[in-house]
Structure 1
Amino acid sequence: MERSSVQNRIVIIGGGPGGYEAAHVAAQLDAEVTVVDTDGIGGSAVLTDCVPSKTLIATSDLMTEMAGASELGVNFQDHQGDAATTVKVDLAKVDARVKQLAADQSRDIQARLERDGVRIVRGRGRVTGPHTVSVDGGEELEADAILVATGAAPRVLDTAQPDGERILTWEQVYDLQEVPSHLIVVGSGVTGAEFASAYLALGIEVTLVSSRDRVLPGEDADAALVLEDVLTRRGMNVLGTSRMASVTREGDEVTVTLTDGRTVTGSHCVLALGSVPNTHDLGLEEVGVELDEGGFVVVDKVSRTTVRSIYAAGDCTGILMLASVAAMQGRIAMWHFLGDAVRPIDLKKVSSNVFTSPEIATVGWSQKAVDDGEIVAESVTLPLGGNARAKMQGVRDGFVKLFCRPGTGVVVGGVIVGPRASELIHPVALAVEASLTVDQVAQGFTVYPSMSGSVAEAARRLHRV
């Protein structure tokens, strides 16, 4: 396809997934692209959040597999031939690998941007008009369109201030100077559950403080119950319906005080209290960009703000805080402004994953939506314990759940709980995206034996004559 010779000036504030993916699309469409970045290309997703946390979790997953090795006939011996009784993790080496991989990924992304002809400007960008961005109050950049992709930061409270040593946000855990003897995780959402699960698998005592009656209150209830059962069975102390009032430190001890007066004492505490958007003092409201009461940028389904020439993508919009969603919002913004084919974002087709052990992957309509009458759907749930491959691998916990429309059998959602659920959800996501029927999913060949065979089997059980 012949490209347009028209040059459009695009300025992107923020080098995370929303920013760098938008830059690639704009460069592909022959725009003149500048990315203004403060903390490093890749943003928090690459440098302090997704890439580091999932690298840490990769090590914890290996520890989980090793814990079940004896059941599969694998035993460990020391150099004298005696049975080895413990497996230990070198946390300093793990953290060094985490930070190195994050830095390498950031460099790789920057190199590709530069190959695409994208200009990268180091500094803090501020919107000074519908078509202008200043960098640290100095260089003024002219733009036909501006994309704000500044992300979000960990939420902290006055009564729970991180010190970077023993009271930590999730961005600070990779600089631990010693292995925690007892880690307290405050917050049982996705971030809190992931870190609690990971450190438990690394052999660390973990207490999870949850203000709700179960972990992962925003996820499928059946999936959350499976996870909580597994975590408690492995030794985690889960404090449900326990709201944190304050976190204090005295010497080498950290104390979490609950609103009912109880206290929990440990060596370290990770705060997983949600995120706040990085939109303060960006000049957005001054030029007419609407922010909601939480400070998030208000956008439509093509990432456009209330100012026609200004778009926004990623966590700063609060739409759905996933790197994949940020990237798609950024691409959609550029496709829309530069006149390429574009389809508005559909959050009901977004697949997501909680990287606990076991993992929890979801896509499409949820059980809660069905229960609340938002959509009429039939469902079936198959425990993974009946899957031949799962039996071979010693997997007992988990399930596959599919939702379909009655009558037509069109797949509208699914939940998978188990090892590598993030990989297994893809065929379900494709079915939701393409509006495939359960019969079409069932008639596709799967490998025998395989975990994915349970997806096809669930679809077969939803067949209607």
Structure 2
Amino acid sequence: MAHVAIVGGGPGGYEAALVAARLGADVTLVERDGVGGSTVLTDCVPSKTLIATSDLLNEVETSAELGVKVPSTVRADLSSVNARVLRLAAAQSADIAERLRASGVRVLTGTARLTSARSVRVSGPEGDQDVVADGILLATGAHPRVSPDAEPDGERILTWEQVYGLQEIPEHMIVVGSGVTGAEFASAYNGLDARVTLVSSRDRVLPGEDEDAANLIEDVFTERGMTVMGTSRMASVERRGDGVVVTLTDGRSIEGSHCLLALGSIPNTAGLGLEDAGVTLDDRGFVQVDRVSRTSAPGIYAAGDCTGVLMLASVAAQQGRIAMSHLLGDAVLPLDLDKVSSNIFTSPEIATVGLSQRQVEESEIQVDVTMLPLAANPRAKMQGVHHGFVKLFARSGGGAVVGGVVVGPRASELVHALSLAVSTSLTVDQVADAFTIYPSLSGSVAEAARRLHRA
């Protein structure tokens, strides 16, 4: 029986453990902070739970358009919201731990260090112990990047892992960083009725995303009272009494009650003994892997944020599954980033799959593009939805769907049809011919496909 050691209990680690156990391996998983890792305990699950409350308040705010009268004092109790956030995160962690136990996976609590390409030393409450394995998977994740000029104090200057200790809605939350994390939290606190200033070093929010989607979101942010400061780079953040001051590199300053730092992530690869085990890191400290999650050291694999491939829980999980299938000799398909779907949980959401507009423009592939505003959709009109669109990319001639963007409420659910189309190379005619419900937002996906039909 093969013995597999997995370092890290996030999606990349626990999904790999479940696959390895199903394939008959003896599996040991080492986790330092809690099963589920930061994804479940401090990042994805908590943030999306907070966003769920914000989304509900956004719906209440627009309910008058639908003929519903609500008291003008509807407001979230942030202490209750955050208590629920942490309770759900703990429950999800417990559910995953139970699944691992039921599958026969041994879970060790502690920190790990590779002592060779086949051995992991675990330092935990019961002292040190060595785990010898036929294969090792590294799934150690990443942590928030901070700056010497903006040190978090956990009270007024915060990382995204620290906001769940807040007991009251911030009077003025300054969010530094306009990538996915910054945009999501800015949207969330704006929905919770906090005054929000979003500081972006780039000329627009979400600079790495679809330009049409990013421009729409920035317009919505501004429409809802958020201050968006483009081409504004932070120089420092300091605590002043019961508030904070964010100083910009051009000398301007912004005063607020709290500051949330969304400056990116640093891989958790230091102190693991990776170099001694022959694992190659890039110049940013990420583990270099191939499409089946192999590192440069035979028998050692890596998955998730520590690889920097694409920082999504779904990608981490897929990398972990692929790694175990490859290690244990099961059938495996290499990771194909051209078929990955992702979602940004702003309000409205932005979901994407497959090739992006930028990739289409930079490639030699001939692609037809159509974009259909959701405002024309009958269900959207019924629900008071004014912002959003469906954009579709299809190969010229054959019509195979190669990418898409959905912006709208619950776009994370709507994009699945496009994800299936991209992953199975369906044509726009096949997507268009599939029945959709009338009225439904998904009808716009089919309509966009119909607009790309060529006789």
In the superposition, the TM-score normalised over structure 1's length comes to 0.96
Q: How does 1:373-384 map to 2 (within 5 A)?
A: 373-384=363-374
Amino acid across the alignment from 1:58: A
- Which of 408, 421, 446 aligns to 2:398? It is 408
Q: How does 1:208-287 map to 2 (within 5 A)?
A: 208-287=198-277
Displacement of 1:374 = 4.8
Question: Partners in 2 of 1:253 and 1:89 — Cα distance?
Answer: 22
- Which of 47, 60, 67 aligns to 1:66? It is 60
Question: Partners in 2 of 1:85 and 1:40 — Cα distance?
Answer: 41
Asked if 1:50 is matched to 2:37, the reply is no
Q: Secondary structure at the match of 1:216?
A: coil
Post-superposition Cα deviations, 1:145-193, rounded to whole Å, max 9, x if no partner, equal: 0000000000001111100000000000000143210000000000000
Asked if 1:100 is matched to 2:94, the reply is no
Q: Is the 8 A contact 1:332 1:342 kept in 2?
A: yes
Displacement of 1:37 = 0.7
Q: Secondary structure at the match of 2:276?
A: helix
Question: Partners in 2 of 1:227 and 1:253 — Cα distance?
Answer: 28
Question: Partners in 2 of 1:391 and 1:178 — Cα distance?
Answer: 35
Aligned residues: 452
Q: Is the 8 A contact 2:77 2:168 kept in 1?
A: no
Asked if 1:394 is matched to 2:384, the reply is yes
Post-superposition Cα deviations, 1:109-141, rounded to whole Å, max 9, x if no partner, equal: 000100000000110011110100001282011
Please tell me the root mean square deviation across aligned C-alpha atoms, in Å: 0.7
Amino acid across the alignment from 2:52: A
Q: Secondary structure at the match of 2:365?
A: coil
| 1:451 counterpart residue number | 441
Displacement of 1:416 = 0.3
| 1:21 counterpart residue number | 15
Q: Secondary structure at the match of 1:303?
A: coil
Question: Partners in 1 of 2:208 and 2:364 — Cα distance?
Answer: 16
Question: Partners in 2 of 1:444 and 1:422 — Cα distance?
Answer: 20
Structure 1: state its 5+ residue gaps: 1-6, 77-83
Question: Partners in 2 of 1:295 and 1:125 — Cα distance?
Answer: 17
- Which of 277, 293, 305 aligns to 2:295? It is 305
Question: Partners in 2 of 1:375 and 1:277 — Cα distance?
Answer: 34
- Which of 119, 137, 142 aligns to 1:132? It is 119
Q: Is the 8 A contact 1:126 1:283 kept in 2?
A: yes
Q: Is the 8 A contact 1:242 1:259 kept in 2?
A: yes
Displacement of 1:373 = 3.3
Q: How does 1:189-208 map to 2 (within 5 A)?
A: 189-208=179-198
Question: Partners in 2 of 1:192 and 1:459 — Cα distance?
Answer: 33
- Which of 345, 352, 355 aligns to 1:365? It is 355
Displacement of 1:396 = 0.9
Question: Partners in 2 of 1:57 and 1:250 — Cα distance?
Answer: 29
Q: Secondary structure at the match of 1:134?
A: strand
| 2:339 counterpart residue number | 349
Post-superposition Cα deviations, 1:353-409, rounded to whole Å, max 9, x if no partner, equal: 000000000001111112223532110000000000000000010000000000000
Q: Is the 8 A contact 2:172 2:194 kept in 1?
A: yes
Question: Partners in 2 of 1:338 and 1:133 — Cα distance?
Answer: 19
Q: Is the 8 A contact 2:30 2:111 kept in 1?
A: yes
Displacement of 1:88 = 1.1
Question: Partners in 1 of 2:39 and 2:291 — Cα distance?
Answer: 22
Amino acid across the alignment from 1:36: V
Question: Partners in 1 of 2:150 and 2:367 — Cα distance?
Answer: 43
Q: Is the 8 A contact 1:12 1:23 kept in 2?
A: yes
> Relative to structure 2, which stretch is displaced further, 369-378 or 319-328?
369-378
| 1:75 counterpart residue number | 69
Asked if 1:428 is matched to 2:418, the reply is yes
Question: Partners in 2 of 1:41 and 1:171 — Cα distance?
Answer: 16
Q: Secondary structure at the match of 1:456?
A: helix
Question: Partners in 1 of 2:361 and 2:418 — Cα distance?
Answer: 21
Post-superposition Cα deviations, 1:292-351, rounded to whole Å, max 9, x if no partner, equal: 000000001000000111000000000000000000000000000000000000011010
Post-superposition Cα deviations, 1:176-213, rounded to whole Å, max 9, x if no partner, equal: 14321000000000000000000000010000000000
Displacement of 1:91 = 0.3
- Which of 24, 28, 32 aligns to 1:30? It is 24
Asked if 1:86 is matched to 2:76, the reply is no
| 1:40 counterpart residue number | 34
Post-superposition Cα deviations, 1:86-113, rounded to whole Å, max 9, x if no partner, equal: 2111000000000000000000000010
| 2:132 counterpart residue number | 142
Question: Partners in 1 of 2:16 and 2:358 — Cα distance?
Answer: 34
Q: Secondary structure at the match of 1:287?
A: coil
Q: Is the 8 A contact 1:369 1:375 kept in 2?
A: no
Q: Is the 8 A contact 1:217 1:224 kept in 2?
A: yes
Q: Is the 8 A contact 2:293 2:302 kept in 1?
A: yes
Asked if 1:113 is matched to 2:103, the reply is no
Asked if 1:314 is matched to 2:304, the reply is yes
Q: Is the 8 A contact 2:78 2:167 kept in 1?
A: no
Q: Secondary structure at the match of 1:126?
A: strand
Structure 2: state its 5+ residue gaps: none
Q: Secondary structure at the match of 1:257?
A: strand
Q: Is the 8 A contact 2:30 2:112 kept in 1?
A: yes
